[in-house]
Structure 1
Amino acid sequence: MKSVELFAGAGGLAMGVSLAGFESLAVVEWDKWACDTIRENQRRGFPVVREWPLWEGDVRNFDWASIPEGIELLAGGPPCQPFSLAGKHRAFGDKRDMFPATVEAVRKLRPKSFIVENVKGLTRSSFANYYQYILLQLEFPEVVRKDRDSWLEHMKRLQAEKTSGALHLSGLTYNVVPTLVTAADFGIPQKRERVFIVGFRSDLGIKWSFPRTTHSLDALLYSQWVTGEYWERHGISSKSRPALPAKLKGKVRKLADMLFPLTEHPWRTVRDALVDIPDPRQCNDLDFLNHSFQGGAKVYPGHTGSPLDLPAKTLKAGDHGVPGGENMMVLENGDVRYFTARESARLQTFPDGYVFHGSWSEIMRQLGNAVPVALGRRVAASVAEQLAESELHKLARSRGRNVA
């Protein structure tokens, strides 16, 4: 199955797509540092990215004629700053809004499916109309905005097309499923909330829903405060364990009284993710790549760092490097320090052998913008499964057989 990755950044979603079995025909990214990261790993022969056809430049200048129509997957995370809670919230008025370019790629490539990832801020009430506008454009990519149209006028035309149902009979349309996802619910050691917009070409007749969650906070609390398995696994004695927060006592009592065991796995914590990685102050960067200590971490209002025994707060990338508390960890003695680039990569589920290019702040920007590799793989694998089943049904029908 063939894929194209847009706005690839350091390669998180693209790597997940590759690990799900897709072959990349183009990996498109404009940022030099992110491209240097991919090129450095290609030079080192890192297996997942070694054969990627990387194209450095503005996605709007890419030659779509070089890619055959009807590829299986188009994937990408358009720049999130126009919708980020930490950004300027300009949406359509922000020149970094790349959703129009994404829709154009869908229109020209006519992929069987697409995966679009973006920040939770896209679903804010202040963006409600524009969010619906994005979804309508992805559903009806052939209804092109006219030069004289404002985006609101274009949205009205899209709404009219949806009401008429005419395009669903003959034109290029997609069944679009948007989902707000917490990465920790899928085994990522980070409370990262993101929107995934997944679409399948309507003519394929595919009915899809987002993969079921596999991990939960309840399961983590159960392993910590009911069975104690979490602390035992990490070799933490009863005397060294933190006190159960008062606000959780009632919840833990209910968990202890359950008649049936929890079926989900515990949320993965910072301690889980970093269990075998040494303190950066006691090793050198040759032992663990991108694991140099970065000083200067401070606590200030609203930025208190990530506790060891919960998933990390969302890693972020700011205009001037790293915006403080989200990218710090709280040590057992209450002190704080910045996550190293390698520790942050662990929290984003990048392999330890994957090298990042640039200064610490530049690497953290790449990581803060990335899709967790394991989450990208989970979503892409679910899409691949549906596409494969669709092909099997098509083959069976052509042979006059029924497939259960």
Structure 2
Amino acid sequence: MTSPGAQDHLDGVRILDLFAGPGGLDVAAHFLGFKSVGIEWDRNACETRYAAGLPTIHADVSVMRETRFQEIPASVDVLAGGPPCQSFSVAGNGAGRRALDTVKEFIHRLVEGEDEAGIDRDLHSLGDPRTALVLEPLRWLLKAIETDGRDPYKVIVLEQVPEVLPLWEVYAKLLRGGEGRLRGVKYEAECWKLKTEQFGVPQTRKRAVLVARLPGAGAVRPPKATHRPFDVLRGRRTLAQPDMLPTEAAVPGTEQPWISMGEALDTASRAEGSPVDVSRLRTDDDMKFFVVSNYGSGGDPRNRGRRSSAEPAFTVTGKISRNKVYRSLAEYEAEKWDRFTIPESGVLQTFPHNFPWSGNDRAQQVGNAVPPRLGMHVLGHALRGAAPSEDELAAAGTWPDVPRTTTEELRRLGCGDRSQCPPDSHRVIRPRAEPSP
């Protein structure tokens, strides 16, 4: 696998990643052999992308569509992205969930050709401006269809928290119909709710995924699960037995067992030059620890969930550095805990062990990202109708070295004209201290 870089910049780029974050989908595309460019508003995420050698435009997605659309290469025929999910997420304030029916109406209004200025005014009245961003992929599609010299995107891949599935269903229905501003352009489109642990991600996380393709490439089908689901109820136990559950054994002819935190971190720690050092989490050379979540469970904020090292992690969020890691009940009683480092948190998201996390708010970057391994399965099925190969998945454990000159050139290309970057986004970055082991 060749190193990503800036030499040819956007030549031959096929995938446009809206709301690209630190690069979950771009990392997946890289290991599948596809070139991508990401649009990202947050400068910290951009710094990580530059360090990783990922082509990036530091811009607001809406502004980019309205005033800089021509900068996107004509070679781009795949539209991908995961709009910010905080207003829809269970962990957020719920403005998006309360507005789901209203947002469905906006989707129809956009396709039917209503004045967008009026739609924008109504959207801003919803309370949380991030809620409107779930419409941006549709607006980008309509922009491509309505721009002379541009072709409709051949493939669309969108992901979000499961609460957004009803909106993806509306998207899919409209894309299949091809009416209004779609100008007769019809897609084969389907959407599903996927569990990340069923695709080899060592955490439990649900995502709503939409895949749409222009006709001719066959029916759109969901990626096939490779691992068994994790039953979150099986982990209910007292603190006296926090780490007693073994990893499940494989059954011939069925999916593989889910991958545990201990297995993922141990594998990453054994890679050459890995920054993941789990020696502090070993007991008698075995990975035995348990994690107490920063979030409550069962509706009780005081009832912190627990997972053993033999189980998948909780959903990795921007607050993962607040989860407490214990090696024993004695440590728990003594209030002597550890924290996952940023590289370890990235591994639980299936980023390569040596991915160059940069800038501030690194835990938030990790938590906001699409797990690359899930991305490889979704993009693989969407773009070539097949799951990633074992060789591709194996290669995805290590990120290629990126020369500093490449990082500097990508930063120059992405942020060279700061007047086009988001307002106030170029304040001095002062990296925060990592949690102490």
Band of TM-score, shorter chain? 0.5 to 0.7
Residue by residue, what CA displacement relative to the aligned partner does 1:249-302 show, whole Å, maximum 9, x if unpaired? xxx9xx99xxx7342211000010111566xxxxxxx961799x9xx9979723
Match status 1:30 vs 2:23: no
**Matched residues in 2 for 1:338 and 1:121: separation?**
29
Which residue matches 1:85? Answer: 90
Instruction: Name the SS for the 2:209 alignment partner.
Output: strand
- Count of paired positions: 300
Shift of 1:322: 5.1
Which residue matches 1:188? Answer: 201
Counterpart amino acid of residue 34 in structure 1: A
Match status 1:74 vs 2:75: no
Question: Aligned to 2:227, which of 215, 224, 248?
Answer: 215
Alpha-carbon spacing, 1:197–1:276, altered in 2? closer, same or farther (3 Å): closer
Counterpart amino acid of residue 67 in structure 1: I
Which residue matches 1:161? Answer: none
**Matched residues in 2 for 1:56 and 1:141: separation?**
32
Shift of 1:194: 0.7
Alpha-carbon spacing, 1:244–1:90, altered in 2? closer, same or farther (3 Å): closer
Match status 1:100 vs 2:135: yes
Counterpart amino acid of residue 63 in structure 2: N
Question: Aligned to 2:24, which of 4, 8, 12?
Answer: 12
**Matched residues in 2 for 1:385 and 1:102: separation?**
22
1:74-223 pair list within 5 angstroms = 74-91=79-96, 92=103, 93=126, 94-97=128-131, 98-109=133-144, 110-123=152-165, 128=166, 130=167, 132-136=169-173, 138-139=175-176, 143=180, 171-202=184-215, 204=216, 206-217=218-229
Alpha-carbon spacing, 1:277–1:113, altered in 2? closer, same or farther (3 Å): closer
Alpha-carbon spacing, 1:75–1:182, altered in 2? closer, same or farther (3 Å): same
Match status 1:346 vs 2:350: no
Which residue matches 1:358? Answer: 359
Which residue matches 1:274? Answer: 265
The answer on whether the counterparts of 2:172 and 2:212 sit within 8 Å (CA) in structure 1 is no
Alpha-carbon spacing, 1:141–1:20, altered in 2? closer, same or farther (3 Å): farther
**Matched residues in 1 for 2:302 and 2:42: separation?**
32
Note the aligned Cα RMSD (angstroms). 3.6
Shift of 1:22: 1.7
Shift of 1:143: 3.5
The answer on whether the counterparts of 1:306 and 1:330 sit within 8 Å (CA) in structure 2 is no
Shift of 1:64: 2.1
Alpha-carbon spacing, 1:196–1:373, altered in 2? closer, same or farther (3 Å): same
**Matched residues in 2 for 1:331 and 1:58: separation?**
44
Residue by residue, what CA displacement relative to the aligned partner does 1:16-43 show, whole Å, maximum 9, x if unpaired? 122222222x31000111001111223x
Counterpart amino acid of residue 155 in structure 2: S
**Matched residues in 2 for 1:132 and 1:363: separation?**
33
Shift of 1:119: 0.6
**Matched residues in 2 for 1:88 and 1:218: separation?**
27
Which residue matches 1:288? Answer: 275
Alpha-carbon spacing, 1:40–1:131, altered in 2? closer, same or farther (3 Å): closer
Match status 1:371 vs 2:367: no
Aligned-residue identity in percent: 29
**Matched residues in 1 for 2:21 and 2:161: separation?**
15
**Matched residues in 1 for 2:257 and 2:293: separation?**
29
Match status 1:302 vs 2:281: no
Residue by residue, what CA displacement relative to the aligned partner does 1:136-177 show, whole Å, maximum 9, x if unpaired? 455567645xxxxxxxxxxxxxxxxxxxxxx7xx61222221
The answer on whether the counterparts of 1:297 and 1:337 sit within 8 Å (CA) in structure 2 is no
The answer on whether the counterparts of 1:69 and 1:111 sit within 8 Å (CA) in structure 2 is no
**Matched residues in 2 for 1:386 and 1:343: separation?**
32
Counterpart amino acid of residue 111 in structure 1: Y
Shift of 1:328: 4.0
Alpha-carbon spacing, 1:105–1:337, altered in 2? closer, same or farther (3 Å): same
Match status 1:60 vs 2:79: no
Match status 1:331 vs 2:327: yes
What 5-or-longer segments of structure 2 have no aligned partner? 1-12, 97-102, 104-125, 145-151, 232-240, 281-291, 296-300, 387-437
Shift of 1:353: 2.1
The answer on whether the counterparts of 2:268 and 2:353 sit within 8 Å (CA) in structure 1 is no
TM-score by length of 2: 0.60
**Matched residues in 1 for 2:260 and 2:76: separation?**
38
Counterpart amino acid of residue 72 in structure 1: D
Alpha-carbon spacing, 1:89–1:187, altered in 2? closer, same or farther (3 Å): same
Shift of 1:348: 0.8
